[in-house]
Amino acid sequence: MSSYFILKAIHITSAAVLFGTGLGIAFFKWITDRSGNIAAIRVVSERVVMADWLFTLPAIIVQAVTGVALMRTLNYSLSQTWLVWSIALFCLAGLCWIPVVWLQMRMRDIARESEHDAATSMGQGYRTYARVWFWLGVPAFAAVILVFWLMVTKPQ
Protein backbone atom coordinates (compact mmCIF):
# COMPACT_ATOMS: atom_id res chain seq x y z
CA MET A 1 0.00 0.00 0.00
CA SER A 2 1.40 3.38 -0.96
CA SER A 3 2.08 6.21 1.46
CA TYR A 4 -0.61 8.23 -0.32
CA PHE A 5 -3.34 5.74 0.58
CA ILE A 6 -2.10 5.46 4.15
CA LEU A 7 -2.09 9.27 4.52
CA LYS A 8 -5.52 9.51 2.92
CA ALA A 9 -6.94 6.81 5.22
CA ILE A 10 -5.52 8.54 8.31
CA HIS A 11 -6.79 11.92 7.07
CA ILE A 12 -10.31 10.59 6.46
CA THR A 13 -10.37 8.72 9.78
CA SER A 14 -9.27 11.81 11.71
CA ALA A 15 -11.93 13.86 9.89
CA ALA A 16 -14.55 11.32 11.00
CA VAL A 17 -13.25 11.44 14.58
CA LEU A 18 -13.20 15.24 14.54
CA PHE A 19 -16.73 15.60 13.19
CA GLY A 20 -18.22 12.66 15.10
CA THR A 21 -16.72 13.63 18.44
CA GLY A 22 -17.78 17.24 17.94
CA LEU A 23 -21.33 16.25 17.06
CA GLY A 24 -21.53 13.81 19.97
CA ILE A 25 -20.16 16.35 22.43
CA ALA A 26 -22.54 19.01 21.16
CA PHE A 27 -25.58 16.74 21.35
CA PHE A 28 -24.95 15.34 24.84
CA LYS A 29 -23.91 18.68 26.32
CA TRP A 30 -26.85 20.55 24.80
CA ILE A 31 -29.47 17.95 25.78
CA THR A 32 -28.06 17.59 29.31
CA ASP A 33 -27.91 21.36 29.83
CA ARG A 34 -31.59 21.53 28.92
CA SER A 35 -32.44 18.95 31.60
CA GLY A 36 -31.50 21.33 34.41
CA ASN A 37 -30.14 18.38 36.41
CA ILE A 38 -27.00 19.88 38.00
CA ALA A 39 -25.44 16.49 38.84
CA ALA A 40 -25.91 15.30 35.25
CA ILE A 41 -24.65 18.60 33.86
CA ARG A 42 -21.52 18.32 36.01
CA VAL A 43 -20.78 14.75 34.88
CA VAL A 44 -21.41 15.45 31.20
CA SER A 45 -19.44 18.72 31.35
CA GLU A 46 -16.47 16.88 32.85
CA ARG A 47 -16.65 14.18 30.16
CA VAL A 48 -17.04 16.75 27.37
CA VAL A 49 -13.85 18.53 28.42
CA MET A 50 -12.04 15.19 28.63
CA ALA A 51 -13.33 14.10 25.20
CA ASP A 52 -12.14 17.34 23.61
CA TRP A 53 -8.61 16.80 24.96
CA LEU A 54 -8.52 13.06 24.17
CA PHE A 55 -10.20 13.04 20.76
CA THR A 56 -10.82 16.47 19.25
CA LEU A 57 -7.40 18.02 19.81
CA PRO A 58 -5.45 15.00 18.47
CA ALA A 59 -7.82 14.81 15.47
CA ILE A 60 -7.19 18.50 14.71
CA ILE A 61 -3.44 17.94 14.83
CA VAL A 62 -3.63 14.80 12.69
CA GLN A 63 -5.88 16.61 10.19
CA ALA A 64 -3.38 19.44 9.81
CA VAL A 65 -0.33 17.19 9.54
CA THR A 66 -1.88 14.71 7.09
CA GLY A 67 -3.46 17.54 5.11
CA VAL A 68 -0.07 19.17 4.55
CA ALA A 69 1.49 15.79 3.76
CA LEU A 70 -1.25 15.02 1.21
CA MET A 71 -0.85 18.46 -0.32
CA ARG A 72 2.87 17.82 -0.80
CA THR A 73 2.38 14.23 -1.99
CA LEU A 74 -0.13 15.32 -4.64
CA ASN A 75 1.84 18.46 -5.55
CA TYR A 76 -1.09 20.73 -4.78
CA SER A 77 -0.33 24.42 -4.48
CA LEU A 78 -2.03 27.23 -2.66
CA SER A 79 -3.01 28.65 -6.02
CA GLN A 80 -5.93 26.23 -5.98
CA THR A 81 -8.91 28.13 -4.63
CA TRP A 82 -10.68 25.09 -3.18
CA LEU A 83 -7.58 24.30 -1.11
CA VAL A 84 -7.24 27.86 0.18
CA TRP A 85 -10.93 27.83 1.15
CA SER A 86 -10.51 24.45 2.84
CA ILE A 87 -7.61 25.72 4.94
CA ALA A 88 -9.44 28.97 5.79
CA LEU A 89 -12.57 27.09 6.85
CA PHE A 90 -10.50 24.62 8.89
CA CYS A 91 -8.90 27.59 10.65
CA LEU A 92 -12.32 29.18 11.22
CA ALA A 93 -13.54 25.98 12.87
CA GLY A 94 -10.42 25.96 15.04
CA LEU A 95 -10.88 29.60 16.01
CA CYS A 96 -14.41 28.74 17.14
CA TRP A 97 -13.22 25.63 18.99
CA ILE A 98 -10.66 27.42 21.18
CA PRO A 99 -13.21 29.57 23.05
CA VAL A 100 -15.63 26.61 23.07
CA VAL A 101 -13.14 24.58 25.11
CA TRP A 102 -12.63 27.48 27.51
CA LEU A 103 -16.41 27.85 27.86
CA GLN A 104 -16.79 24.11 28.48
CA MET A 105 -14.17 24.22 31.25
CA ARG A 106 -15.83 27.25 32.81
CA MET A 107 -19.29 25.60 32.62
CA ARG A 108 -17.82 22.43 34.16
CA ASP A 109 -16.44 24.49 37.05
CA ILE A 110 -19.76 26.30 37.58
CA ALA A 111 -21.59 22.95 37.62
CA ARG A 112 -19.11 21.57 40.17
CA GLU A 113 -19.54 24.62 42.41
CA SER A 114 -23.32 24.49 42.10
CA GLU A 115 -23.50 20.79 42.90
CA HIS A 116 -21.36 21.16 46.05
CA ASP A 117 -23.20 24.22 47.34
CA ALA A 118 -26.95 23.68 47.29
CA ALA A 119 -27.51 27.42 47.86
CA THR A 120 -25.68 28.23 44.63
CA SER A 121 -27.63 27.96 41.40
CA MET A 122 -25.91 27.77 38.07
CA GLY A 123 -27.51 31.08 37.22
CA GLN A 124 -27.43 33.41 34.26
CA GLY A 125 -23.66 33.17 33.83
CA TYR A 126 -23.91 29.48 32.96
CA ARG A 127 -26.80 30.10 30.58
CA THR A 128 -24.87 32.89 28.86
CA TYR A 129 -21.82 30.65 28.45
CA ALA A 130 -24.04 27.85 27.12
CA ARG A 131 -25.66 30.17 24.59
CA VAL A 132 -22.30 31.47 23.33
CA TRP A 133 -20.98 27.86 23.26
CA PHE A 134 -23.94 26.81 21.10
CA TRP A 135 -23.62 29.69 18.64
CA LEU A 136 -19.87 29.18 18.25
CA GLY A 137 -20.68 25.62 17.23
CA VAL A 138 -22.87 26.73 14.32
CA PRO A 139 -20.11 28.28 12.17
CA ALA A 140 -17.64 25.60 13.29
CA PHE A 141 -19.85 22.73 12.11
CA ALA A 142 -20.84 24.59 8.95
CA ALA A 143 -17.15 25.16 8.20
CA VAL A 144 -16.31 21.47 8.67
CA ILE A 145 -19.17 20.39 6.40
CA LEU A 146 -18.00 22.85 3.75
CA VAL A 147 -14.45 21.50 4.05
CA PHE A 148 -15.80 17.97 3.47
CA TRP A 149 -17.61 19.21 0.36
CA LEU A 150 -14.48 20.98 -0.92
CA MET A 151 -12.28 17.95 -0.29
CA VAL A 152 -14.66 15.65 -2.17
CA THR A 153 -15.53 17.91 -5.09
CA LYS A 154 -12.34 19.99 -5.45
CA PRO A 155 -14.19 22.62 -7.50
CA GLN A 156 -12.11 24.71 -9.88
Name the maximum alpha-carbon separation found in the chain.
Answer: 62
In angstroms, rounded to a whole number, what is the distance separating the alpha carbons of residues 41 and 135?
A: 19
> Among residues 62, 104, 68, 112, which one has the least CA distance to residue 86?
68
Residues of the chain falling short of pLDDT 70: 118-120
**How confident is the model at residue 116, as a pLDDT?**
81
**How confident is the model at residue 122, as a pLDDT?**
82
In angstroms, rounded to a whole number, what is the distance separating the alpha carbons of residues 41 and 122?
A: 10
* In the chain, domain spans: 3-153
* Cβ neighbour number for residue 142 with a 10 Å cutoff: 14
- The helix-helix angle for 57-73 and 81-116 (nearest 10°) equals 170
**How confident is the model at residue 6, as a pLDDT?**
96
* pLDDT tens per residue across span 94-134: 999 999 999 999 999 999 998 887 656 788 899 999 999 99
pTM above 0.75, yes or no: yes
In angstroms, rounded to a whole number, what is the distance separating the alpha carbons of residues 32 and 148?
A: 29
Q: Are 61 and 94 in contact (CB under 8 A)?
A: no
**How confident is the model at residue 119, as a pLDDT?**
56
Instruction: Give per-residue burial for 29-49: e unless 16+ CB within 10 Å, then b.
Output: beebbeeeebebbbebbbbbb
